[in-house]
Amino acid sequence: MQRGADPKLLDPGLWRLEVARRRRQLDELRGFLTTLEREFQALSQSVLAFWSEYEQRLGPLWQELEGLQLDLQRMLDAMAEAQGGPPVRLPTLRTRRTLPTLPAAVAWPEPPAESDAPTAPSLKHLHRLAAMRLHPDRAPSEAERTRREALMRDANLAYANQDRTVLEGLLIAAGESPVRLSGFDLHAQWQWLERCEQLAQGRMRLIRAHLVLLRQHPNTVMAESVTRGRERGLDALALMALRLKAQVQELRQQHYIGSRLPPQGALAQQFLAQWRTRWAEVASVQPSYAPDWDGLKGERAANSAS
């Protein structure tokens, strides 16, 4: 018997029932996979919809802020080069992270066609096979003859009672092929079921892992936080916009001051030292343009736009 099949299933009729049971279980598992995939796609679409709104409302402010920082970086580089000192590296404001996506599923193998299996023999033919295999005259010893006589009595009784199950069981015990007796290729069915079950279990682990990644993704965390705020009547994006505008204004002032300083002068040297100190203190905490600025924590937490 094929490895993995239940050795107690000596009746081809029971094999069919067992295969049917495992097929139903496989269908249920595939239905559960579909539910998990829909859950993943629904959450992904929800987060993408939020970040579309986020970019629409805050994207221009971020672009202006990043453009001003780039100009400031060039100004600081020119000052550092003119004074022969080390450059000031301003930290990146945003790190864009893409949402996890589900890899394509492996194609399911085609189920074996039952029509490819031999046609099940008639009850009369089974009785003839039993007579050929179990006839007492073919016994090599007296003990074997006695055993065969008992088996033939069972076969004759099964034939008289039209009991196909008993005849099949006697023939299988005598070494007859189950496929030949039942017209059902259990081995092919079992191999197909095992392969499908392996694929389904692997797919389920993959989807669950990606769901964890998606739920813990910074974009998802930000989207859920903003949604909870809206349920309490708080427009978090409006507050973020105010903070970004404040940073844009502060950065414009710093850019205005720096653009009027002679690159090699003492004031430019102080300006450089001020920015070195400022970014050394706050770069690892939040994108800030003033030592006492404590805003943009929400943006730093999400830190991206899809």
Please indicate, yes or no, whether residues 97 and 220 belong to a single structural domain of this protein: yes
Residues 242 and 284 in one domain: yes
Residue 161 in domain: yes
Q: Is residue 179 part of a domain?
A: yes
Buried b (16+ CB within 10 A) or exposed e, 258-279: beebebeeeebbebbeebbebb
214 domain residue, yes or no: yes
Quick check: 284 pLDDT over 50?
A: no
Both 175 and 275 in one domain: the answer is no
Picking from 225, 250, 249, 246, the residue whose alpha carbon sits closest to that of residue 237 is 225
**Is the residue at 297 inside a domain?**
yes
pLDDT above 80: residue 290: no
Counting residues of the chain whose pLDDT is more than 70, the rounded percentage is: 80
Report yes or no on 46 lying in a domain: yes
The mean per-residue pLDDT over the stretch 246-264 comes to 91
Between 177 and 118, name the one with better pLDDT: 177
In the structure, what pLDDT confidence band is assigned to residue 184 with cuts at 50, 70 and 90?
low
What is the pLDDT confidence band of residue 111, given thresholds at 50, 70 and 90?
Answer: confident
What is the C-alpha to C-alpha distance for residues 194 and 266, in angstroms, rounded to an integer? Answer: 78
Higher pLDDT, 288 or 108: 108
Q: Left if phi > 0, otherwise alpha if psi is -120 to 50, otherwise beta: which for 296?
A: left
pLDDT score of 166:
82
* 3 within domain boundaries: no
Contact 162, 123 (CB under 8 A): yes
* pLDDT score recorded for residue 208: 95
Q: 122 φ, ψ to 5°? A: -70, 165
190 within a domain of the structure (yes/no): no
Q: Are 130 and 170 in contact (CB under 8 A)?
A: yes
Question: Does any domain span residue 74?
Answer: yes
Mean pLDDT along residues 58-67 = 93
Of 154, 183, 212, the residue that ends a domain is 183
- Structural domain of 170: 118-183
What is the reported pLDDT for 291? 32
Taking residue 57's Cβ as centre, other Cβ atoms within 10 Å add up to: 14
